[in-house]
């Protein structure tokens, strides 16, 4: 009986050790079922830096990322809103060094899982290694203007902006339609002053990732100029649905910006982003001397990915 008790005790200890080892092992990271990366190829400016498929689309089990330089792939994988949040070698931004990714995954993959899949793919194929740093940038604070917000919380299952049967892209006021799965859409200016119309169904923190770009459009900054950072001081925590209309422009490369516009500028057809936020949404941008920004610092990356 004593020998049996000792044996049972030893088996119990072994079982506990096995369970503890299994629990100590890190969970398997999400990975694509199949993924191929093509380098370069014949450049087609009409499809440059485009991706389609994935979570929330009509093709959730496949994603195609076309003709993107490595820095943009890193931005996508880590959810960074601006290229100046990556510090790395210059070749990562070279226009003639781009990649095309075609990958499959389970149709129920979430956006968060997709980002992890991209991170793991870049680590495996490019041997990408990086770390985070916090740096200070000038920017803005978004606050609630006197009188309070002029938009409402979104109730899931509702749609404030019904489709116009005559046009499946824009409504009669030329605001982009929002599909059920979309968080936001906006029409962009091109070449000269014209109105930017945004339809948004999102949280305030997510909206902030667009506001820096909108400020640049409103100021007429050339394409590629770093976007100012905006931090949330509103205290608003729900998901909201709203429209925003302001005048913006993307000048031709090398053209000097004209500075911050006002509704009274010659030829201006509408308010700048600062006035539009306050009058249309009840929000206000206040300049901040220093805004903390999360940076990705690239420690290592291969110019040519490993084989598929």
Q: Residue 258's pLDDT is what?
A: 42
Task: Give the residue extent of every domain in the chain.
Answer: 34-135+294-300, 149-281
Q: Whole-model pTM?
A: 0.61
Q: Which residues contact 131 (CB under 8 A, 6 or more apart)?
A: 296, 297, 299
Tell me how far CA of residue 176 lies from CA of 125, 167, 192, in angstroms.
38, 10, 20
Q: Residue 78's pLDDT is what?
A: 92
Per-residue pLDDT of 185-214, as tens digits, reads 777 666 677 888 888 888 998 898 889 888
- Say which DSSP state 176 is in: B
**Range with the poorest average pLDDT among 122-131, 170-179, 236-245:** 170-179
Q: How confident is the model at residue 267 (pLDDT cuts 50, 70, 90)?
A: very low
pLDDT of 161 over the 90 cut: no
**Would you say 293 and 85 are in contact if contact means Cβ atoms under 8 Å apart?**
yes
Q: Residue 261's pLDDT is what?
A: 37
Q: Residue 52's pLDDT is what?
A: 82
Q: What is the mean pLDDT of the chain?
A: 78
Is residue 202 within a helix (H) or strand (E), and if so which, with residue range? Answer: strand 194-203
Single out the residue of 85, 100, 114 nearest to residue 48, CA to CA.
100
Per-residue pLDDT of 2-12, as tens digits, reads 454 444 445 45
pLDDT of 145 over the 50 cut: yes
DSSP letters of 4-38? HHHHHHHHHHHHHHHHHHHHHSPPPPP--SEEEEE
Mean pLDDT: which of 6-15, 40-49, 183-192, 247-256 is highest? 183-192
Q: Which residues contact 260 (CB under 8 A, 6 or more apart)?
A: 218, 219, 272, 274
Q: Residue 152's pLDDT is what?
A: 87
Mean pLDDT: which of 103-112, 224-233, 262-271 is highest? 103-112
pLDDT of 303 over the 60 cut: yes
């Amino acid at each position: 009986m004593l020998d049996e008790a000792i044996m049972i005790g030893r088996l119990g200890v072994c079982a506990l050790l096995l369970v503890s080892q299994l629990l100590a092992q890190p969970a398997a990271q999400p990975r694509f079922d199949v993924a191929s990366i093509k380098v370069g190829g014949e450049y087609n400016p009409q499809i440059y830096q485009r991706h389609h498929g994935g979570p929330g689309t009509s093709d959730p089990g496949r994603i195609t990322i076309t003709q993107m330089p490595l820095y943009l792939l890193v931005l996508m994988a880590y959810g960074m809103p601006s290229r100046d949040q990556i510090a790395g070698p210059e070749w990562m931004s070279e226009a003639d060094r781009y990649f095309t990714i075609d990958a499959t995954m389970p149709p129920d993959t979430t956006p968060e899982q997709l980002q992890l899949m991209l991170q793991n793919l870049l680590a495996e194929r490019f041997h990408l290694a990086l770390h985070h740093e916090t740096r200070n940038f000038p920017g803005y604070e978004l606050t609630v203007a006197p009188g309070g917000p002029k938009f409402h919380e979104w109730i899931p299952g509702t749609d404030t902006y019904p489709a116009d049967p005559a046009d499946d892209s824009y409504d009669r006021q030329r605001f982009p339609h929002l599909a059920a799965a979309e968080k936001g859409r906006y029409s962009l200016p091109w070449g000269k002053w014209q109105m930017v119309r945004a339809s948004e169904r999102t949280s305030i923190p997510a909206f902030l990732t667009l506001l820096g770009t909108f400020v640049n459009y409103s100021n007429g900054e050339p394409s590629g100029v770093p976007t100012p950072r905006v931090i949330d001081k509103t205290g608003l925590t729900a998901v909201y649905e709203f429209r925003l209309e302001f005048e913006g422009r993307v000048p031709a490369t090398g053209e000097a910006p004209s500075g911050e516009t006002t509704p009274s500028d010659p030829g201006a057809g509408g308010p700048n982003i600062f006035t539009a936020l306050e009058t249309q949404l009840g929000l206000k941008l206040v300049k901040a001397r220093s805004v903390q920004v999360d940076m990705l610092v690239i420690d290592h990356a291969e110019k040519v990915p490993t084989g598929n």
